Amino acid sequence: MSLVDLARLIRRTGRIAEPAPAAPSEQPSAQGADGSPTASADGLPARDLPRELRGSVQVRHVDAGSCNGCEIELAAAFGPVYDAERYGARLVASPRHADAVLVTGVVTRNMAEPLRLTVEATPQPRVVLAVGDCARDCGMFRGAYGVVGAASDVVPVDLSVPGCPPAPADIVAALRQVTGR
């Protein structure tokens, strides 16, 4: 395909991203008394999210023992249709570069210590998100022999997203709680 054909295709296709819903900062229920955003996406006990992370948040993803279903939805959340980056959330490869740790999957014995170390290596202020039922409460793997627990049994969790797997739109909504955009 020539560059001209490509330009024509882009022009013909137009925007394919989902229309942006109202920003969390425009939704009264998403703010605390002092105007800071509050968790949670699903009614779990809310913690105040750091105001320093508003506008832009770098996210380190940790698969602590997922079946990979949550990863597929996470990839969609950062793909061209849901496009989490337009709200200021970006995936990074190192916890040293991150402001947030996004955990998927139940925490397995082999991943408990790496998860702890990853969160410790993420500078403060930081946010930990538990994405999917397994990360929230062990989901269908509760009680399995290789399972240590949910993400909150190993590290402090600020925000969680329910679902098995959660919809990309719900993952984006949780990230927007952090960025406020």
Total residues at the site for ligand SF4 (CB under 6 A)? 13
Residue 102 lies near ligand SF4 (rule: CB under 6 A): no
CA–centroid distance for 95 within its chain: 14
Angle at 60 between CA 105 and CA 124, to 5 degrees: 115
* Nearest residue (CB) to ligand SF4, 51 versus 142: 142
Closest alpha carbon to 169 in 180, 157, 181, 161:
161
Backbone angles phi, psi at 50, to 5 degrees: -65, 130
Residue 180 lies near ligand SF4 (rule: CB under 6 A): no
Report the distance separating Cα 130 and Cα 158, nearest Å. Answer: 8
Residue 160 lies near ligand SF4 (rule: CB under 6 A): no
Stretch that binds ligand SF4, among 7-15, 63-71, 78-86, 148-156 (CB under 6 A): 63-71
Which residues sit at the interface with ligand SF4, rule CB under 6 A? 66-67, 69-70, 104-105, 132-134, 139-140, 164-165
